[in-house]
């Protein structure tokens, strides 16, 4: 399976995939390329592993430029790993069923435009929810609305802060990102 990973941030989810390939949890999987819509630490992680890395900073043409780089690369799956830009409708339709995203909450709650990073955790705490978690889902034209592939939750403890939720979500993401890719590998 050949995958392309799209990133925008610290790259912990990219690192999760790299580590799983390195230690054999993900076999027969190649990270064919990494594409970033902004300069970020995830780019450094990618270069550290000599992965083909593209920095496409023009947000208006990101989808077009990314599609150009994917041309002829036999990519089986595109993984949005902490990726913050919204892909174009044309791109999503062209790659329908081959794009997955990881979201730091239990969709369908706390999804959609503007729901990313600490804003999600703030909303969960303000709502007084007892649990939170993360979700891996297929990407469709509706932001965070695609079919859910895998979710995992954890209990929110009294006094938990946004930072506590961020840390606990990162732990959950570590597990479900790799598990979801493995699930799709078996399916493909
Ligand atoms: C993660 O919680 C992810 O769900 C969200 O962005 C956060 C940072 O991801 N989309 P990463 O460290 O850049 O992978």
Lookup result for tokens 């979710």: 151
Is the pLDDT confidence value at 188 over 80?
Answer: no
**pLDDT tens digits along 55-100:** 999 999 999 999 999 999 999 999 999 999 999 999 999 999 999 9
Pocket test for ligand 1, best of 104, 120, 168 (most atoms within 8 A of CB): 104
Is the pLDDT confidence value at 187 over 90?
Answer: no
**pLDDT tens digits along 142-167:** 999 999 999 999 999 999 999 999 99
Lookup result for tokens 């790993």: 81
**pLDDT tens digits along 104-139:** 999 999 999 889 999 999 999 999 999 999 999 999
Distance, in Å, from the CA atom of 12 to the CA atom of 90, rounded to the nearest integer, reads 28
Angstrom distances, CA of residue 89 to CA of 76, 78, 102, 103, 144: 19, 15, 19, 19, 14
Distance, in Å, from the CA atom of 35 to the CA atom of 38, rounded to the nearest integer, reads 9
Pocket test for ligand 1, best of 10, 13, 36, 44 (most atoms within 8 A of CB): 13
**pLDDT tens digits along 22-60:** 999 999 999 999 999 999 999 999 999 999 999 999 999
CA 19 to ligand 1 center in whole angstroms? 16
Distance, in Å, from the CA atom of 46 to the CA atom of 77, rounded to the nearest integer, reads 17
Is the pLDDT confidence value at 186 over 80?
Answer: no
Q: What is the pLDDT of residue 9?
A: 97
- Give catalytic status of residue 121 as yes or no: no
- Residue 185: pLDDT band with limits 50, 70, 90: confident
């Amino acid at each position: 399976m050949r995958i392309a990973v799209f990133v925008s941030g610290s790259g912990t989810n990219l690192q999760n995939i790299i580590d799983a390939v390195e230690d054999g949890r993900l076999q027969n999987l190649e990270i064919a390329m990494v594409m970033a819509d902004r300069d970020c630490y995830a780019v450094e992680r990618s270069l550290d592993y000599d992965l083909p890395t593209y920095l496409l900073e023009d947000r208006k043409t990101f989808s077009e430029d990314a599609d150009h780089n994917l041309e002829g690369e036999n990519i089986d799956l595109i993984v949005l790993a902490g990726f913050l830009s919204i892909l174009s409708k044309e791109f999503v339709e062209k790659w329908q069923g081959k794009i997955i995203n990881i979201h730091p909450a239990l969709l369908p709650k706390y999804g959609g435009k503007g729901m990313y990073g600490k804003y999600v955790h703030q909303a969960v705490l303000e709502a007084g929810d007892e649990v939170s978690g993360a979700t891996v889902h297929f990407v469709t034209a509706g932001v965070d609305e695609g079919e859910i592939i895998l979710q995992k939750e954890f209990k929110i403890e009294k006094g938990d802060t946004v930072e506590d939720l961020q840390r606990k979500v990162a732990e959950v993401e570590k597990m479900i990102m790799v598990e979801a890719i493995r699930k799709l590998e078996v399916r493909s």
